[in-house]
Chains A and B, each alone.
Chain A
Amino acid sequence: MGNPMRIRAKLDGDVVDAKVLMNHAMETGQRKDASGALVPAHYITKVIASCNGKTVLEADWGPSVSRNPLLGFRFRGAAAGDTLSVTWTDSMNDTRTDEAVIG
């Protein structure tokens, strides 16, 4: 189920400025815990953002993205009041979708 994201989307002229703060451990699979055991890999592999039924961003991610990452992007073709939806899928096949209204 994953933890909720914090999505902010603001219309600036005809461009939407979107900021997505994700709550994810993003374990690389290379870190060891205090007892020396390997912490299993657990990171986001795919991010898809869509608006009005159209995909506006699709990204393949790997273990090099930071813990609790912030994703910023800009796109055209949306109006104030539209809904921006963001979905991530991670290496343990967990997935999470959150939405925000463009302001």
Chain B
Amino acid sequence: MIARHRTRAIAGLAFAALTAASSIVLAQPEDDPVAEYRAMMGDDNPAEFWVMRGEALWTTPRGPASVSLEQCDLGMGPGVVKGAYAHLPRYFADAGEVMDLETRLLHCMVTLQGIPREEALKQRFGDGARESDFEALAAFVAEESRGQMLDVPLDNPAMEKAYALGKEMFFYRAGTHDFSCATCHGQTGVRIRLQQLPNISEAEGARAAYSGWPAYRVSQGEVRTMQWRLQDCFRQQRLPQLEFGSEASIALTTYIAHNANGAVMDAPGMKR
């Protein structure tokens, strides 16, 4: 009995899959409802509000040292924001390590403004009324690189090491579900649910994925950063929590960014 039911169910599934496949072919142009939504919003991205707040945060003296972030070196020299995000992550000699945007912002908050690390990290991600300074600052810095070409070279042993580690993690299967990043992001032209997931192991997919982050997440009403994106991927994979600004998180970001080299930056973007 059970076996027969199962056969019928499988036959039904196969039929559904067939009809679904044919409708996908027919419905190709409308295949990406998020893109449609984005087109409807046009130039109106609520991320603008985060950019405005981030710019104010950048120029306001804060912390025990009562200084602004205007002397923060994002890699192009102290205070240079224009184009900085298009060259991150990068190796910072003053810190002796590779840093991504959020880690560098944290570094400046701690070293320049004298804000204790734990306090700065309290609101890593925004939650309605409790806004995150990182999300606002990241939106502002990213906006200043819009239209620039992403250029993250492995021009230093530390960068090479970060890339290699990121790549290993990307393909490393682990956790209760035996997932790796590549499980969802290692194939081209397939999807999960209604999402067309980019193949991040290749340039085209990595560019599409990376160039729009940080992004306004419509479903959350918040601007999210790459650090947020990665830690949420870890949660979805049922892996241990990815620490904000950890070596592992920076390595993964370096892997994706280097793969995405040549992308025209278009952040903050808008995502589902």
CB-nearest residue of chain A to B218: A66
| Contact present for B128 and A70 (CB under 8 Å) | no
Q: Looking at chain A's contact residues, is the secondary structure mostly helix, strand, loop, or mixed? A: loop
Within 8 A of B (CB), among A1-22: 3, 6, 8, 19, 21
B46, B129, B221 interface centre (most CB from chain A within 10 Å): B46
| Contact present for A70 and B44 (CB under 8 Å) | yes
| Contact present for B129 and A19 (CB under 8 Å) | no
Hey, which chain B residues are within 8 Å of A68, CB to CB?
46, 49, 216, 221
CB-nearest residue of chain B to A31: B128
What is the distance, in angstroms, from A13's C-beta to the closest C-beta of chain B?
A: 19
Contact with A along B164-203 (1 / 0, CB 8 A): 0000000000000000000000000000000000000000
Contact with B along A28-57 (1 / 0, CB 8 A): 000001100001000000000000000000
Hey, which chain B residues are within 8 Å of A67, CB to CB?
46, 221
Within 8 A of A (CB), among B193-242: 216, 218, 221
Given contact pairs A66-B218, A66-B221, A39 touches B46 in the complex (Cβ within 8 A): no
Q: Looking at chain B's contact residues, is the secondary structure mostly helix, strand, loop, or mixed? A: loop
What is the distance, in angstroms, from B224's C-beta to the closest C-beta of chain A?
A: 14
Tell me the count of chain B residues lying within 8 A, CB to CB, of chain A: 13
Of A8, A21, A27, the contact of B128 (CB 8 Å cutoff): A27
What is the distance, in angstroms, from B120's C-beta to the closest C-beta of chain A?
A: 20
Hey, which chain B residues are within 8 Å of A8, CB to CB?
43-44
Q: How far is the CA of A25 from the CA of B49 in the complex (A)?
A: 12
Q: How far is the CA of A98 from the CA of B48 in the complex (A)?
A: 16
B35, CB-defined interface residue at 8 Å? no
B76, CB-defined interface residue at 8 Å? no
B13, CB-defined interface residue at 8 Å? no
What is the distance, in angstroms, from B7's C-beta to the closest C-beta of chain A?
A: 44
A26, A33, A66, A68 interface centre (most CB from chain B within 10 Å): A68
Hey, which chain A residues are within 8 Å of B41, CB to CB?
70
Q: How far is the CA of A25 from the CA of B42 in the complex (A)?
A: 21
| Contact present for B44 and A6 (CB under 8 Å) | yes
A23, CB-defined interface residue at 8 Å? yes
Of B49, B216, B221, the contact of A3 (CB 8 Å cutoff): B49
Q: How far is the CA of A70 from the CA of B221 in the complex (A)?
A: 12
Of B43, B46, B128, the contact of A23 (CB 8 Å cutoff): B46
**Residues in chain A within 8 A of chain B (CB atoms):** 3, 6, 8, 19, 21, 23, 25-27, 33-34, 39, 66-68, 70
**Residues in chain B within 8 A of chain A (CB atoms):** 41-44, 46, 48-49, 127-129, 216, 218, 221
Q: List 6 A-B contacts (CB under 8 A).
A: A8-B44, A21-B48, A23-B49, A25-B128, A26-B221, A67-B221
Which 7 pairs, one residue from A and one from B, show the smallest C-beta to C-beta distance?
A67-B221, A68-B46, A23-B49, A21-B44, A70-B44, A19-B44, A68-B221
